[in-house]
Amino acid sequence: MNAIVAGVGMTTFGKHMDRQLKSLAVEAIQSAIEDAGLSLADIEAAYYANVAAGTMVGQVCIPGQVALREMGLGGIPVVNVKNACASASTAFHQGCAMVSAGVYDVVLVVGAEKLYHQDKSRTFSVFDGCVDYEDFDRVVDSVKTRIARAGGAADEGAGQHSFFMDIYAAMALDHMAAHGTTQAQFAAISAKNSRHGNLNPYAQYRGVMSVEEVLAARGIAYPLTLPMCSPIGDGAAAAILVSERKARQLGVNRSVRVRSSVLASGRDSVAGEEAGITELAAKQAYDEAGVGPDDLDVIELHDASAPSELIYYETLGLCPRGQGGQLAESGDTALGGRIPVNPSGGLLRKGHPIGATGLAQIAELTWQLRGVATGRQVSGARVALAENGGGYIGEDAAAMVISVLSC
């Protein structure tokens, strides 16, 4: 990869019932363009990520063209990207690839989403569509079987939360059975991310919670309590990618280089193979960037649930398999620790407007590498990793994007 992140921008994440999807996208785009020191006329192509517009606001097609027209930008190629929760990071990957290939010198990538609606069933239906919907009943039965096999309550809270929380509960129960992981170790992640999110002005939730408060909160699907589950949200994030030639021309002095960006898709596992899509994508991303887990200074990863973050500690190589629980309670992944994870507060506290999430990670890491993440800055951050997964196929993510950035 030879792409440079020249500018980033995002809205606050949260409940924006009084705003249109277009207005959120425009705010993030304008911030990114201003940050890059460019103008609308400089943009040669755009990749626009969104998942739920068709369901939530009726914008089934052309959401990118609609948003860009709102701010007077037209004529250029606009590619609309829909890849479940990995949509924004997929748009980022595609933009980086086109810049690296020399097709464009300046590319806009943006993700925007509105998930809040008076009818919660409409919101939940968006997540139902992130699995094989034509085989939905079989997928549900498979997850229920996993939960029951591990001793959980397969129907706990049915219809009151996203089906993905049942998937994460199954993952958590499997990990607990295999490695002795405890509910308190999952709670330690939620508590840690609440401390980080309290420092982030863009975060949806700013209050600090203790491990005890996380454990005492309302149950969702055992072992998950409410603070262990990422909230729905509205918001947008954007980045401007430029070529090395354009960066030199602009005299960009706060450049963040994309060392690698790998997009991989879930598949049926091979008998006897332990490595899933995250391990495979991480290895490729590390190899292309010429780094390893020990070289990372800061990470933003897809903590759609607290157990997700713990399991990603292992699949990204931050600790051996089965030791994610110990790492979670060690303090090493907190600000000031050995390898800070989700200094933004992560999806659990920053929020998870799914079409924008991947680019919000890129924005946070760009600020970290520039040394301007006021109040939550990771000291001396030079190499960063973003991991963003989406959808569910078999027993793995359907889409996975891992990107390595450096300054």
What are the residues whose beta carbons fall under 8 Å from the beta carbon of 220, sequence distance 6 or more?
156, 157, 160, 161, 165, 169, 226, 228, 229
- Within 13 Å and on the Cβ side, how many CA atoms surround 56? 27
E strands, 116-274, are 219-221, 224-225, 235-242, 256-265
Phi-psi region of 75 (alpha: psi -120 to 50; beta: other; left: phi over 0): left
Token pair 């899933």 is found at: 276
Token pair 């000031």 is found at: 336
- Active-site residue 179, yes or no? no
CB of 360 closer than 8 Å to CB of 239: no
As given in the structure block, the two tokens for residue 151 are 């001793």
19-22: which pairs have CB atoms within 8 A and are 24 or more residues apart?
19/114, 19/234, 20/57, 21/50, 21/53, 21/56, 21/57, 21/59, 21/63, 21/67, 21/112, 21/113, 21/114, 22/66, 22/67, 22/70
Query: Coil, strand or helix: which one is 63?
Result: helix
Q: Which of 16, 93, 196, 352 is catalytic?
A: 352
Token pair 């507060």 is found at: 345
As given in the structure block, the two tokens for residue 25 are 């996208």
- Active-site residue 229, yes or no? no
CB of 7 closer than 8 Å to CB of 254: no
Q: Which of 85, 130, 229, 319 is catalytic?
A: 85
Token pair 């949806």 is found at: 204
Point out the residues that are catalytic. 85, 352
